[in-house]
Homo-oligomer: A and B are copies of this chain.
Amino acid sequence: MTETTVSDVTAYLTRNVEDALPHGALERKLTLDRPLRVKLGIDPTAPDIHLGHTVVLRKLREFQDLGHTVVLIIGDYTARVGDPSGRSALRPQLDPAEIDAHAKTYMDQAFKVLDRDRTEVRHNGEWLDMQMEDLFRLARIPTVAQLLERDDFAKRYAAGEPISILELLYPLMQGYDSVAVRSDVELGGTDQKFNLLLARDIQQAYGIEPQVAMTLEILPGTDGERKMSKSYGNYVGVDEPAEEIFGKVMRVPDDAMPVYYRLLMDEDFDPSRAPVESKRRLARTLAARYHGDDAGAAAEEHFDRLHVQRAMPDEIEEAPLPAGLDQVHLPALLAGAFGISRSEARRLLTGGGVRIDGEPFSDGLDLPADRLDGSVVQLGKRRFKRFRRAADNG
């Protein structure tokens, strides 16, 4: 074995990251003769961890395996302030009990990836419930122009959409978290790049050696298009049953396999392999990762029972769900999708000739669109369609 140098370690840690800024800073930090403090901020308004979150968590785990300390910051205080994602103008405020419950759920799931012994969990309410004068000190640091350069603010400002002063305070407080925990590195998705860099300015203003801002590519959801997110309904939660994980991953479009491999697998994507094989390998690995090897194998068997034994093909033609409806009338949907009459569709529905995701369906003539989205509907033995909601641009 050859000796591992700091630049080997740097190359390993940055191999699949988008940025580690400023250049050279991570390598310098790694030469310090102590465990680095690697920060991740947690938004307790969204407690369930999905595969998208695990991209960052797995990177944290890599730091832990090298002897560094992860500092998870539960944003209990900032949860009361505003929406960090910039998607909605202002989220409803959460009460403390909800925040605690969410944080507990999050931590239970996060420790499926992280090493508990090398994780420090903090709540930013510890330090953000500051005196007004301390907030004023903080508010002297960045300029309005600097904050309006943040991508989402810039777009909303240019579009004439309202941005409250409160929203400008959020990245300041997030930056102050980095002062409070003296982070050496902070991780986030590419959409956090601005905040992670701003935190450097804030640390510097408080006389603290600034952190490395490490951003990771954002995992697309099971639609292969938009960012994986609970609110888009395109997520795979780490706490879902193994069969759900396996099944959902099998529905990810083929062309998303390279990015899924890059961000979630320890092996490279092999383009010479059949897409369905790559996907099976990914699905098996992920189901086993969160439920153990036995559950992973059982999930694959379950999938095969549905698809192979019922002659359900691995690749199923898709059909759109009507846009804008919460409730779908099945006779109309099936008539359109399978080219049959509504009365025939109704007869099949009431006579036990329809399966949804392999299970016989006899629950009436209407279903919520959410329930149908991504599901396979089978008429008789040989006809299959997977319904999907048309992606809106939300």
Most buried by B among A130, A139, A142, A165: A165
A165 and B168 in contact, given A132-B130, A136-B80 (Cβ under 8 angstroms) = yes
A144 and B157 in contact, given A81-B136, A130-B132, A132-B135 (Cβ under 8 angstroms) = yes
Q: Is the CB of B162 within 8 A of A145?
A: yes
Q: Is the CB of B132 within 8 A of A166?
A: no
Q: Is the CB of B162 within 8 A of A172?
A: no
Instruction: List A residues 169-195 near B (Cβ within 8 Å).
Output: 169, 172
Contact partners of A129 in chain B: CB under 8 A: 132
Q: Is the CB of B132 within 8 A of A160?
A: no
Q: Which residue of B lies closest to A163 (CB)?
A: B144
A-side interface residues, number (CB < 8 Å): 29
Assembly stoichiometry (copies): 2
Most buried by B among A90, A130, A132, A139: A132
Q: Say yes or no: is A133 at the interface (Cβ < 8 Å to chain B).
A: yes
Q: How far is the CB of A275 from the nearest CB of chain B, in Å?
A: 47
Q: How far is the CB of A148 from the nearest CB of chain B, in Å?
A: 7
Q: Is the CB of A140 within 8 A of B80?
A: no
Contact partners of A135 in chain B: CB under 8 A: 132, 135
Assembled-state Cα–Cα distance A128/B162 (Å): 25
Contact partners of A166 in chain B: CB under 8 A: 136, 139-140
Assembled-state Cα–Cα distance A160/B160 (Å): 20
Contact partners of A165 in chain B: CB under 8 A: 139-144, 147, 165, 168-169, 172
Question: Which 3 interchain pairs have the tightest Cβ spacing?
Answer: A139-B166, A143-B162, A139-B165
Query: Could you pull out 21 A-B pairs where Cβ atoms are within 8 angstroms?
Result: A81-B136, A129-B132, A139-B164, A139-B165, A139-B169, A140-B165, A140-B166, A141-B165, A143-B163, A143-B164, A143-B165, A144-B144, A144-B163, A144-B164, A145-B157, A145-B160, A145-B162, A145-B163, A165-B165, A165-B172, A168-B168
